Amino acid sequence: MSSSLSKNFEPQQIEEKWYQHWLDKRYFHSTPDERQPFTVVIPPPNVTGVLHMGHTLNETVQDVLVRKARMSGFNACWVPGSDHASIATEAKVVQMLEKEKGISKHDLSREDFLKHAFEWKEKYGGIIYHQIKKLGCSVDWDRVTFTMDAHYYEAVIKVFIDLFNKGKIYRGARMINWDPQAKTALSDEEVEYKDVQGKLYYVKYQVTGTNEYITIATQRPETIMGDTAVCVNPNDERYQHLKGKTVIVPLVNREVPIIFDEYVDPAFGTGALKVTPAHDINDYNLGLKHGLPIVDTLNEDGTLSEAAEVFIGIDRFEARKQAIEKLHTDGLLIKEEEYQTRLGYSQRTNAVVEPRISTQWFVKMKELADQALTAVVSGDVKIHPEERFLATYRYWLENVKDWCISRQLWWGQRIPAWYAPDGSFVVAATREEALKQFEARDLKLEGGDIRQDEDVLDTWFSSWLWPMEVFNGITQPNNPDINYYYPTSVLVTGQDIIFFWVARMIMAGMEYMNEKPFDHVYFTGMVRDKQGRKMSKSLGNSPDLLELIERFGADAVRFGILISAPAGNDLLFDDSSCEQGRNFNNKLWNALKLVKMWESRQAQTNESSSSHFAVQWFEQRLNEVKGQVEEMYAQFRLSEALKTIYSLIWDDFCSWYLEWAKPGFEQPIDSNVYQSTVRFFEELMQLLHPFMPFITEEIYHQLKDQTDDLCVKQFSKSANIQQSLLQQGDLLKQTISAIRDVRVKNNIKPKDPVNVHVQASQSSQYAAITSILTKQVNAKEVNLVNDAVAGAIAVLVGKDKIYIETEQELDTTAQKEQLEKELEYLKGFLVSVEKKLSNERFVLNAKPEVVDVERRKKADAEEKIKAISESLSALG
């Protein structure tokens, strides 16, 4: 055994050594050549943070696919990068300025604030890239892209101007989603709805000039001051007498009309609705229909405005409490009742979102969405797993709404709109171009100056260009990179951004390249803790990736996250799966030490039949799994592929093959068997490498002096498989296991020799495996017999009977009881199968192959019943 090999696998130094080696060799760098490209663009994580476990899964899946492609002859190009994340980053910078420097954003000019923002990005933006390296990701570090890079900024502005000129972007006042914490507009997709326990407050509105009141149920008493009407259903008999009447709005004593509209559900609440056009989208639409005024009672930070007349400057939720108290004091609050409702929350700040009428910029989505829908429905872009996400994708695109793309922030791509003092505007990339446009329109610029729009564009408006602009496809159309690498091969992403990003990238690709941006989309599941909760910072249940890697090693973490991750389904993750990965590493390391121990004990021997069979069998088993794994890659069943490789190595190679090929005590190993063993080990490491790159590269080089690196070693095609050898191998494993089980149940020690007699339906099956069987079960001899062996322990292996003779006195009572239990079970099973086969409807309607399976079950059960009955007779 090599003295340089540690007791267990120690990943830290090995990981750093190999990652640096791969970088030095520039294995991850790609340039266009004659090979077929395999292109992946990383879903750019926010520059604000660190990789959580969802990112870890996502990055690991991508690395598996990219490494596999690189080892399969493709020119693999994986582009890394990060997203400027307007809302989240600006919040972080504002917080930093206030906490560390005592500076408010509003004390700074825009230019000074952006200097601080870029300084913050330079300080913290590299954390994610460090984590990506630690995880072993084989990205092309020469191609790192940031969505605020100069060329990328230029591309975003260019697309905005182009879409505006095509009439696909417009500016207008509409009801939008407002985040009072970030003080910015949000798109519909950035609002996350949650079911919460709320309350309905029943409030009396006095009919003007009478002692009559209309009772209205509302969830938001703090918006009463914005009421401009009360609405009832025209078919509601309770309110017919109120046509043409008005009511007095509580708290502000405003007189407003009673209007009639079928929108109101007479069965909900009291059948009467307060109409607050400034603070509810449905009320806004009612207001437009009936010509109602709009009273906006909220400031941008969620406090009440002067238009509210009362509770001015108080936060909306505190104002709710005060409004309830005042209504109660005034005798206008009848009752409160619990009510289950849905509230919209900002995905970025978790603040409760307010509907708000605001002048914003919008993208017309219908035409863009139609192209993106066709690309997926036609199969041009393939979604995996299709059965889970195609319908969701289709529903959203068929019901798409215009996209609000302006954000009231400073960090991001500034909207290229320029305003004259009279409010007219033009869209242009620079002030000079804007002035030319104003002059061309013959517009007089009073005051002689123009101002640029203060808002920036939604972050997703930049990231929807990602597959194109990482290759400068917008800024330098038809350059060699975009022509070679686009469309990309696979997009790996989370299901939660199917609308934010995936659909919009397809829209942008179809619009600007007239081509899909990727061939395949693979959706990973949501990572949850072992209690089923979504991992989040607020719950404190998401582990630190670097700490996990420090404890278990990167390979073990990659193993842990992937082994738990069936395609598209949520996965339960805890440290135990990483521990399983570490144990697997140690299993591999121990196997390496065993093989290295044999290295100095090679000799040209007459290869034993046992070793010869072991080599032949494992050759077939390896080829079988290579074919299975290739198919799993094609179907994106990566977790299953890893489990299959894991089982091949742990069970077939370590537990069976190495035992079968192992030389006798102090005996040399045949050189041919040793060389075959090393070759098998190399191929296993190659098969495992995309999943666990560090330990596989290390073992590959420890096995012998190599002229190449596993990272770029090309896969060979799997050969034809000899099923007969695989069947013999399975028979051998089952027989050994059965005999070992008999030893345990009958307290026969492993060192006590036994005689084994095999009564087989096909005795030739045992010819090549007898010598291994003899060695593995410590048998004096293994004989093929035609009849039952009296006084021996009998056990069934498939249809064959194995008799074990021992000099030890046996208690046949326990054996009889076990056989009788098996016999009883098989008889019951046979009755159920016969019942099914005697059902004419089943036989006529079931598929022929299903009926054949049942018939085989019947024949198999009958043979086993016969064999057990004979064994019982032999026991007396």
Amino acid sitting at position 202: Y
Indicate the pairing of strand 382-384 with strand 518-524: parallel
Write out the two tokens for 543: 């582990």
Binding residue ranges = 537
Q: Which residues pair with 192 in a beta bridge?
A: 345
* Distance in Å from the first CA to the final CA of the chain: 53
Binding residue ranges for ATP = 537
CA–CA gap between residue 592 and residue 698 (Å, rounded): 10
- Residue 854 DSSP class: H
Q: Please name which of 549, 548, 581 lies closest in space to residue 563, comparing C-alpha atoms.
A: 581
253: Cα within 13 Å, side-chain hemisphere: 2
CB 322 within 8 A of CB 225: no
Residues with Cβ < 8 Å from 797, sequence gap 6 or more? 731, 734, 735, 738
CA–CA gap between residue 571 and residue 568 (Å, rounded): 9
CA–CA gap between residue 117 and residue 94 (Å, rounded): 9
Indicate the pairing of strand 793-797 with strand 800-805: antiparallel
Q: Which residues pair with 82 in a beta bridge?
A: 146
User: Residue 385: is the preceding peptide bond cis (ω within 30°)?
Assistant: yes
Amino acid sitting at position 427: V
Write out the two tokens for 832: 């159920």
Edge-to-edge strand ranges of the sheet holding 169-179: 184-186, 169-179, 354-363, 403-404
Alpha-carbon distances of 241 from 204, 269, 398, rounded to whole Å: 17, 20, 43
Diameter of the chain measured on Cα atoms: 116
Alpha-carbon distances of 437 from 78, 155, 367, 443, 638, rounded to whole Å: 42, 21, 28, 9, 55
* SS3 label, residue 201: strand
Q: Please name which of 387, 375, 395, 384 lies closest in space to residue 523, comparing C-alpha atoms.
A: 384
Q: Please name which of 429, 499, 428, 511 lies closest in space to residue 467, comparing C-alpha atoms.
A: 511
CA–CA gap between residue 200 and residue 637 (Å, rounded): 49
CB 304 within 8 A of CB 312: yes
- Residue 760 DSSP class: -
Write out the two tokens for 240: 């017919």
* SS3 label, residue 809: coil
User: Residue 487: is the preceding peptide bond cis (ω within 30°)?
Assistant: yes
CA–CA gap between residue 66 and residue 57 (Å, rounded): 14
- Residue 237 DSSP class: G
The helix (run of H) or strand (run of E) holding residue 13 is helix 11-24
Helical pair 110-124 and 86-96, crossing angle rounded to 10 deg: 100
CA–CA gap between residue 493 and residue 464 (Å, rounded): 14
Q: Please name which of 508, 454, 406 lies closest in space to residue 186, comparing C-alpha atoms.
A: 406
Taking the alpha carbons of 260, 261, 262, 263 in that order, is the dihedral positive or negative?
negative
Write out the two tokens for 104: 């408010």
Q: Please name which of 690, 780, 696, 775 lies closest in space to residue 732, comparing C-alpha atoms.
A: 775
CA–CA gap between residue 225 and residue 332 (Å, rounded): 14
Amino acid sitting at position 210: T
Amino acid sitting at position 540: G
